[in-house]
Chains A and B, each alone.
Chain A
């Protein structure tokens, strides 16, 4: 069964304390892996797409990497405004609904000043 697991569920960091969020996946074939940020009461905001193992994407303090089994979202020197829930989703190859995404439950990140 296709599955996406994110860890940890919650993470509290001090401002400037770098860390990584994990997204591990089990799918029949990966078409794309997506990272989103979600603020309370808002819809998810798209961050990155990764398509193949070894690929990396960067945006400000965030860097996403991909292997054949997992993806990491590295946060370098985080600031309080990076506090949010980070969601990972995977699109898998299958015979029919290739538009569907399989979602993880997210990591809730809090960055203290």
Chain B
């Protein structure tokens, strides 16, 4: 079974802090993703990565950055946390088959982040 592990289930930070969310997958997947999930807005893609050191912006990248130094690990960074970044953050990974990917994404259990 695919295992995607997020470092914290719950996190409380203060406005202006730099926040790091970590995600590790154990299936040697090429693709990794960061989403946030808010009531009424559904899942929104922040950033994704298709290879080590490669990244692409998703739909809502403002205020976030990412790092992928190793294949199994993908980090989300809130450069200067603000209250509107309070949310559930979900990491996912998927297998890349050839030049295209229509394989399912597998999710971690999420980090509930509160910015005070």
Q: B-contacting residues of A (Cβ < 8 Å)?
A: 31-32, 34, 36, 41-46, 49, 51, 87, 89, 91, 97-101, 103-106
A-B pairs with beta carbons under 8 Å apart, 27 shown:
A31-B100, A32-B102, A34-B105, A43-B4, A43-B92, A43-B107, A43-B110, A44-B43, A44-B90, A46-B105, A46-B106, A49-B103, A51-B102, A87-B42, A87-B43, A89-B43, A91-B102, A98-B100, A98-B101, A98-B102, A99-B33, A99-B48, A99-B50, A99-B96, A99-B101, A100-B58, A106-B42
Interface size class of B (residues with CB under 8 A): 20 to 34
Could you list which residues of chain B lie within 8 angstroms of chain A, going by C-beta atoms? 4, 31, 33, 40-43, 45, 48, 50, 56, 58, 90, 92, 94, 96, 100-110, 112
CA A36 – CA B104 in complex, angstroms?
10
Q: Give bound CA distance, A49 to B102, whole Å.
A: 9
A25 to chain B, nearest CB (A): 14
Minimum CB–CB distance from A33 to chain B (whole Å) comes to 10
B107 with A44: CB separation less than 8 A: yes
11 further contact pairs, Cβ within 8 A, besides A41-B110, A43-B110, A46-B107: A43-B4, A43-B108, A44-B43, A44-B90, A46-B106, A49-B102, A49-B104, A91-B101, A97-B48, A105-B40, A106-B42
